[in-house]
Homo-oligomer: A and B are copies of this chain.
Amino acid sequence: MTARILDGRAVSAAILDRVRREVAEFTGEHGRTPTLATVLVGDDPASHTYVRMKANRCAQVGMHSRRIELDAAIGTETLVGRIRELSADPDVDGILLQHPVPGHIDERAAFEAIDPAKDVDGVTRASFAMMAFDEGGFRSATPGGIMALLDAYDVPLPGRHAVVVGRSPILGRPVGMLLLARDATVTYCHSRTAGLADRVAEADVLVAAAGRPGLIRGEWIKPGAVVIDAGYAGNTGDVEYAAAAERASYITPVPGGVGPMTIATLLAQTIRAARDHQTRRVVSVP
């Protein structure tokens, strides 16, 4: 068997087309343009690149992005204050705090300064719990993108065994909760897991999100499994691609799989936030 490709580039392009139409419609109807505020702290070149990519994508779909760049030396209080201003700003629909932030800053405190109604990157406690309880809040961008990719290919989830390798608060943990909400049986593995090969071999759906290149050997993959590699690190994923593709039924390439879905999810959630936001503005000014 050779796996079919889960083509994140094609699926995300279709999502971005839809978002572009929705943005044009929104702007025409309400006389203002949906706006994503991006907050970047410090000089990390990779973070700068990511923020620039997101701003470019905003421009491509007709959204505004407002870039806030802050000195690496600022403290938690300054960052929290700045994010609270954005949360209160009626011209801002969504807020993205590029992470990781420098180590001396309390990242959790900064995340929690984001109004959950503007948490289009799905990083707050409220968003996490809404994902876990299937309450329809904003999803963490990469987990939301993974679910959209699975749905685009009609991958069945109820009753199937999904194995998530990795447990970060914005990737492994939330994607497991989203899979559980869709009635999959869900196993979380991580660096302390004993017998990782045996756990992976049981996966009908595997989500590799460890960020350790080549951690998942192709020979571990159950024949016919669906393999999602979210372990991007310098164009290499967590999964031995060629060997895994011989056994899997579907597999994401790296790059071109999960990555493009992340930004598409971010922007799809931003136009949704703008609409919800507009409704609240209208309701509060009757």
Contacts and interface: CB of A to CB of B under 8 A. Distances in A.
29 contacts: A125-B125, A125-B128, A125-B129, A125-B130, A126-B126, A126-B129, A128-B128, A128-B129, A128-B132, A128-B133, A129-B129, A132-B132, A132-B169, A133-B169, A133-B173, A158-B192, A159-B193, A159-B194, A160-B194, A173-B177, A173-B180, A183-B190, A183-B192, A185-B187, A185-B190, A185-B192, A185-B194, A185-B199, A187-B187
Interface in A154-199: 158-161, 167, 169, 173, 176-177, 180, 183, 185-190, 192-194, 199
A167 B180 CA distance: 8
A192 B185 CA distance: 8
Contact of A108 (B124, B133, B188): B133
A71 interface: no
A135 interface: yes
A131 to B, nearest CB: 10
Contacts of A176: 188
Contacts of A124: 129
A119 to B, nearest CB: 12
Contact of A188 (B185, B189, B190): B185
Contacts of A199: 185
Interface of A: 108, 124-126, 128-130, 132-133, 135, 158-161, 167, 169, 173, 176-177, 180, 183, 185-190, 192-194, 199
Contacts of A135: 108
A193 B188 contact: no
Contacts of A173: 132-133, 177, 180
Given A125-B133, A129-B125, A133-B108, A189 B185 contact: yes
Contacts of A158: 192
Contacts of A108: 133, 135
Nearest to A163: B187
Contacts of A188: 176, 180, 185-187
